[in-house]
Amino acid sequence: QAWELWDQRRIRELLDPEVAEPEGDLLSRLVRCIQIGLLCVQRLPEDRPTVTEVVELLTNTSSQLLTPQRPTQLFSIDTPGLSRTIRSDQHLPRGSQ
């Protein structure tokens, strides 16, 4: 859901309504943090920033950010004796649908 809201530029809906309404520079920094977080959950490890790169992106606001792709959604399957998490782009085992 975070990616959908970010992609639709509905960033304020990601923020806690109990916290003061961010404006200006604070809002742009929050948008940057959300974008960095979305880069960290990319499906392929090589598409994710390293910890060093994340620190650089968070501390140097002039660093250029890549545009994140829709992250793979994870969901769990609980069956007696079997519990596994699969990606939405994987097929369910026969009989689990």
pLDDT digits (tens), the chain, 97 positions: 888 998 999 988 988 888 878 888 888 899 999 999 999 999 899 999 999 999 999 999 888 999 999 876 655 555 555 555 444 444 444 444 4
- What pLDDT does residue 79 have? 54
Q: Within a 10 A sphere around the Cβ of 14, how many other Cβ atoms? A: 15
With tokens 């979305």, the residue in question is 38
Listed residue (42, 37, 93) closest to 72, CA to CA: 42
The pTM of the full predicted model, rounded to 2 decimals, is 0.69
Domain ranges within the chain, ordered by starting residue = 1-59
- What pLDDT does residue 91 have? 45
Q: What is the CA radius of gyration of the chain?
A: 17
- What pLDDT does residue 51 have? 97
- What pLDDT does residue 53 have? 96
- Residue 78 pairs with which residues in a beta bridge? 83
